[in-house]
Structure 1
Amino acid sequence: MKAGDTRRRVALVTGGRRGIGRAIGYALADEGYDVVVNDLERDAAADETLAGLVARGAQARFVAGDVSKLDGHAALVDAAWGAFGTIDCLVNNAGVQTNYRGDMLDIPPESFDRLLGVNLRGSFFLTQQVARRMIGEPAGDVTRPRRAIVFVSSGNAVVATATQADYCISKSGVAMMSTLYALRLAPHGIAVNEVRPGIIRTDMTADVFDKYDGWVRDRGFPMARWGEPDDIGQAVAVIASGRLPYTTGHAFHVDGGIHIRRT
C-alpha cells in the first residue's frame, strides 16, 4: 500500500476451502486482508470458510479452479483479481499427498505426474500469471515490500521419506521455485517466502495418524505435539503482514523443531 492508503489488502489462497488453507485465510482476515478462496468446488466446507472469513471482518469470495489445469489459469486469476480489484498476496497452498506409499522402485508414473502437476507445475505457472499482474501495478517503496507470495511446501522438502518419494520430490521443487521467484521479484517490491509445515493434524494426515502419534507422544522431536492448521496460518499471516520488510527467499520451518539436527 502507498502511504495513507487505508484499504484492506487482498489475498488469494489456493486450496483454501478447509484445513490449512482455511486457517491461512482466517489468519489473513485477522491481519486485515480480504480473501479470495480458491479450490476445486464450492461445497459446504467452502461456505463454512467464507462465513468464518466474514465473521472476522473480511470480505470473502470463492473462485473455483484446478491449479493443475494450466488452460484455466487466466480465467482463475482474472476472477480472483476482479473480486476486489487487485491481489496483494498470493498463497500457494493447494497441494496433494501421494496416492502411493511404498517402495519408490514401484511408484507408478501417474502418481508422480499428479503430484508434480499440482504441487509444482500448477503453482509455478499460477504464480507466473499473478506475478505479471503484480508487476504491472505501482510497487511503492520496493525496499520495504508490502506485497507477498508464499509457497506452502513441507518439511519433506529437505527430509527424505523413501515411502513417499514422489511427494518429497515435488516439495523440494517447490523450495527451489520459491527461491527463484524471490530473486526474480525482489526488484518489484514482492517478497517471496516458503513455509514448511511439519506433522500437521489435517484430513491429509488422517491416514498416517497412528504411525506418527506414538512418535509425537514419545517426544520424537523438540516441541512434542501435533501441529495444527492455525500454526501454519499464523506463520503465513506474519510473512504477509509487511512486518518482515527485509526478508525474502527464506524458508520458515513450522514443525516443532523436527528439522533440527541432533546427536
Structure 2
Amino acid sequence: MDGSGQVALVTGAGRGIGLAIAKSLGEAGFSVALNDLGRDGGPEDAVDALRGEGVQAVAVPGDVSDLKGHADLLRSAEDALGPLTTLVNNAGVGVLSRGDLLDATEESYDRCMAVNTKAHFFLTQCFAKRLIGGGRVPGLFYSIVNVTSSNAVAVSVNRGEYCASKAAAAMISKVFAARLGREGIAVFDVQPGLIETEMTAAVKDIYQRRAEEGLTLFPRLGQPDEIGTIVRALVTGALPYMTGQVLSADAGMLVPRF
C-alpha cells in the first residue's frame, strides 16, 4: 500500500527525526503537515524543501504542550490538506541539564512530562475523536505512531526525568491501541536508540564510541532517515494485522546478552 490519499500530521518536524519522517511519508505519496515551534525558520523551511521535491506539504506551527491548541492544530492541517489519516507524535525535549539524579529539578521534570508525555496523550485523544466522529474513506489506512525512546526501557541515570516521561509515553501507545483497535485505528510505539541528530550532537562522539565497543549490535549510530523508513512502513499498512507493538529502532541495543 502506498500513501496515495493519505494525510499525515508530524509533530516536531522542523528537523531531525521528525523532518526525516515527514520526508519519508512525502516520498510515499502522503500529503504532510509539519508541526514545530516555528523558531529559526521552523517547519516553514522544511516545508519549502519538501515542496521542492513535489510533496504536498504545509507548515502548522504550534506548541504541542499547549493542549488548548490541539483542535486548532488538527483543523489547520485538514483545512490545508484534507482529512487526516495519520498522526505521528514525534515532538520531544531532553532534560534541562544532565547530571546526578538527586539534583534533577521540578522544572526539568515538568518540561519532559508536558512535551514527551502529556502532549502525546491529549493530541492522540483529540485526533482519535476527530477520526471517529467524522467520515473515514474506505481503503485508507488510519494510524497513530508515537516516537518515544529506548529510554522508555533502559535507564539513563543522568537524565531520569526524560526516562520517566518516555516510559509513560510508551504506555500511552498501549492504552490507545487497546481503545482504538475496535475503531480500526492502529497505534504503534517506535523507540529510537542512538540516533545522530541535533539533539544528540553534544554526545555524538561518546555514543559512537560506545556503539563501537558493543553497546549496539550494529557498531554505529542510527540515522534519522532510518526512523523515517520504519514509520513509513507502519503508516502505509506494510505491517498489517498489527497494533500496540513496540518497534525497537536501536540496532539491537536492548537485546539481552551475557
- Give the equivalent residue in structure 2 for 1:51: 48
Q: Which moved more, 1:164-173 or 1:101-110?
A: 101-110
Are residue 29 (structure 1) and residue 29 (structure 2) matched?
A: no
Rounded to whole Å, the distance in 1 between the matches of 2:136 and 2:77 is: 19
Deviations 1:7-42 (A, max 9, x none): 521000000011101100011011110000001116
- Give the equivalent residue in structure 1 for 2:105: 108
Are residue 18 (structure 1) and residue 18 (structure 2) matched?
A: no
Q: Percent identity over the alignment?
A: 44
Counterparts of 1:75-224 in structure 2 under 5 Å?
Answer: 75-139=72-136, 146-224=141-219
Count matched residues: 257
TM-superposed deviation, 1:216: 2.1
- Give the equivalent residue in structure 2 for 1:257: 252
Aligned match of 1:229 in 224, 229, 248? Answer: 224
Rounded to whole Å, the distance in 2 between the matches of 1:42 and 1:7 is: 31
Deviations 1:23-77 (A, max 9, x none): 0001101111000000111643533321332234321000111001112222212
The runs of 4+ residues in structure 1 deviating greater than 4 Å are none
Give the aligned residue type for 1:155: S
Uncovered stretches (5+) of structure 1, i.e. residues with no partner: none
**What's the TM-score, normalizing by structure 1?**
0.92
**What's the TM-score, normalizing by structure 2?**
0.94
Give the aligned residue type for 1:233: G
Deviations 1:102-132 (A, max 9, x none): 1111111000000000000111111111110
How large is the Cα RMSD of the aligned pairs? 1.8
Rounded to whole Å, the distance in 1 between the matches of 2:186 and 2:143 is: 5
Rounded to whole Å, the distance in 1 between the matches of 2:249 and 2:53 is: 24
Q: Which moved more, 1:94-103 or 1:39-48?
A: 39-48
Q: Which moved more, 1:153-162 or 1:98-107?
A: 98-107
CA 1:241 to 1:200, structure 2 compared with 1: closer, same or farther past 3 Å? same
TM-superposed deviation, 1:213: 2.1
CA 1:72 to 1:140, structure 2 compared with 1: closer, same or farther past 3 Å? closer
